[in-house]
Amino acid sequence: MDILSLLFALITSTIYILLYVKIYNRYFLFNKFAIIGKIMLLLAIYIQFFAIYIDLNMKIFALFSFVTYPISFFLIFKTNIFNNLYLSLNAILKIYAAFVLFGTLLAVIDDIQYQATWITSSYYYNIAQGSAYLLSIGSLLIVDFYLIKDKMKYFFKLKKNLILIIFIQLIFIINLVWLSMSDNNIPYVWFNTILIAISFSVDILYFLFRLYTANSSYYSTFISHTENLKTQLDSQLDHYKTYESQMTSFLKFKHDYDKFLKGISHLISLKDFDGIKSIVADYKLESENFDVLYKQYSNNLILDALLNDYSKKFEKIGAKFDSLTFINLNKITELDLIRLFYNILDNAYESLIQISNVNSRKISVNTTVVNNYLKISFINTTSNENIDSLKTSKKDLLNHGFGIKITDDILEKYDGFSNRFKTYEDDLVYYNLELFLPKE
């Protein structure tokens, strides 16, 4: 019986951990030490199955989990400390709540009070462990894989919800451990009933909290992207208005040009060369004024409209703007190209208006070819020397904190990458953003 329960616990725990790592691999890349982390995590779990043979205090095993789980996930995934804490506490809470639930049910069957000292010395121990992992496998498949699904990727991006869930995890674990470790002599039927209700309630409440925060993160991101898209559409409307103005000027110029040709022909027939010189001078002045309306910054018509629009925005705040951009659209779509430039130029604009000295506001965009990559360089002066803080200087982080993320997502989509650094020149700080896109 002991051997069968041990095998049951070993099999279900192994399946659970491998499935757990596979599901969350959708959101985090594997670390180069991933295999070591997996082995360490499995060993940390396997050791707990031998608690009844080692006869160690249950509190030591609990503390052991709080140490080994974070270290293991740190080795498995490339992620930050908050995501690491969530992954560790999520696994601990789900497994422990299920373990207490099944352990108490087995205590009811044995007609005794559930106690940590009793379960660790009982042949029921590994049955409760195996059942807990089996229930957790089902929970992973139903909740994490089907219900919450890809909404978790938005959850991990919204730090407020992530920190909230981490606090909830800690509160649930602390209270559940405190209650389940109690060895007070009280009416055991009442105690077992309460413990079953609490462990089951913790599992359900935790599921509801996770579902709520995942959905709220998803909808918050959706609203933010909608606002971002609305702003971009407004910007596109400005482009169309710019083109409308340019087209009106062009048609007027063409109409006057026809008159100009007729006038020249008439003056030639009269041999009025002074009149011809006067008309040509007026024409030259008018054509120069027309050229001011539109300047070519790029080899792409739509991108050129965006750059012309931002040149006017930069001009209004006194910023010097220069661009010479030639992009081959073999891979990247025009929509992604506009989104890429829009988010970067918008962040640059926000950075430039923070500079108190108008004469120090400068921005340039240019492209070069480096090996097999097209390098697009954005360089602008900034009042902030901290590169990380330049992600957004806007107060509404929820609606405006996605510019860098959108840029990185587009680069990843086309197998590109970016480089960010600062330079100094003439007592000015320059923020340098280099984008690298494969040529083919």
pLDDT in tens, the chain (440 residues): 578 888 999 999 999 999 999 999 888 889 889 999 999 999 988 888 876 666 656 667 667 888 899 999 999 998 889 999 999 999 999 999 999 999 999 999 988 888 887 887 788 888 999 999 999 998 888 888 777 777 787 788 778 888 999 999 999 998 888 888 876 666 778 888 988 999 999 989 988 888 888 887 777 766 666 666 666 666 655 655 665 566 566 556 565 666 666 767 766 777 766 776 776 676 666 665 554 455 777 877 778 878 888 888 899 999 999 988 887 766 788 778 888 888 899 889 989 999 999 999 999 999 998 888 889 999 999 986 555 444 444 443 333 445 677 788 888 888 889 999 999 988 899 999 999 988 76
User: How many CB atoms are closer than 10 A to CB 381?
Assistant: 22
358-373 burial: b if 16+ Cβ within 10 Å, else e: eebbbbebebeeeeeb
| pLDDT confidence of residue 398 | 36
Say which DSSP state 274 is in: H
Tally of CA atoms within 13 A in the half-sphere of 77 that contains its CB: 23
Residue with tokens 């209650």, as numbered in its chain: 179
The Cα–Cα gap between 215 and 246 comes to 46
Query: Where are the domains positioned within the chain?
Result: 2-221, 229-293, 301-438
Tell me the two tokens of residue 272.
């009025």
Token couple for 163: 């920190």
Rounded Cα gap, residues 369 and 350, in angstroms = 28
The helix or strand, by DSSP H or E, that contains position 323, with its residue range, turns out to be strand 320-324
Rounded Cα gap, residues 98 and 190, in angstroms: 19
Distances (CA, A) of 98 to 132, 139, 436: 5, 11, 49
Give the C-alpha separation, 356 to 46, whole Å. Answer: 62
pLDDT value of position 142: 85
422 CB-near residues (< 8 Å, 6+ apart): 382, 385, 387, 429, 430, 431, 432
Angstrom CA distances, 4 to 11, 51, 100, 138, stand at 11, 16, 20, 21
CATH architecture, domain defined by 301-438: 2-Layer Sandwich (3.30)
Residue 301 is predicted with a pLDDT of: 73
pTM to 2 decimal places? 0.59
> Using an 8 Å Cβ cutoff, are 348 and 323 in contact?
no
Torsion of CA 174, 179, 181, 184, to 10 degrees: 150
* pLDDT given for residue 245 in this prediction: 62
Q: Give the closest residue to 440 by CA, choosing from 416, 417, 424, 409.
A: 416
**Residue 356, number of CB atoms within 10 A of its CB:** 8
> One-letter amino acid identity for 176?
L
